[in-house]
Structure 1
Amino acid sequence: MGLADRAVGFLLSFISLSIFTYYTFWVIILPFVDSDHFIHQYFPPLEYAILIPVFAGVTLLFFLCVFIGMVILKSKKKKP
């Protein structure tokens, strides 16, 4: 494994862990903190905690369906 592969893997792991930690704190811990606490300024409203993953999931599902549709169309064109 090359040094570049390890660096990319480390970077992706760090980004994933950071997003997971931020989201977990936002969804699980923040509702129990007083609403006038300064930490609330670093987080969007709690409604977005549901909307963002739903939007990301629908977008991912859309692109997956488009990809599968393109593969099916290409495979049908190859058959005589």
Structure 2
Amino acid sequence: MTEWTDFPHANCCPCHTTRKIAYSIDEAAARVGVSKELLRAQIAHSYLVARYVNSKPVIEHDELVAWLRNLPTAPK
């Protein structure tokens, strides 16, 4: 499932009809369930790509999903 319309009930109510294309660090951290500091470290080490609106970093939805899918499947 990569397209928004692939999700069950994608068009049943207004909250599911559109998705954000980019997130702030705070929003991305909340979406994934990790700390803002962890995401900032991942960006600093080039594991996660951020784009910048002036000086504000934003993370594209697809980039966040790709980063998450590339994480290890077993704990260290």
Richer in strand (by share): 2
Q: Higher helix proportion, which one?
A: 1
Shared fold by TM > 0.5?
A: no
When normalised by structure 1's length, the TM-score is: 0.23
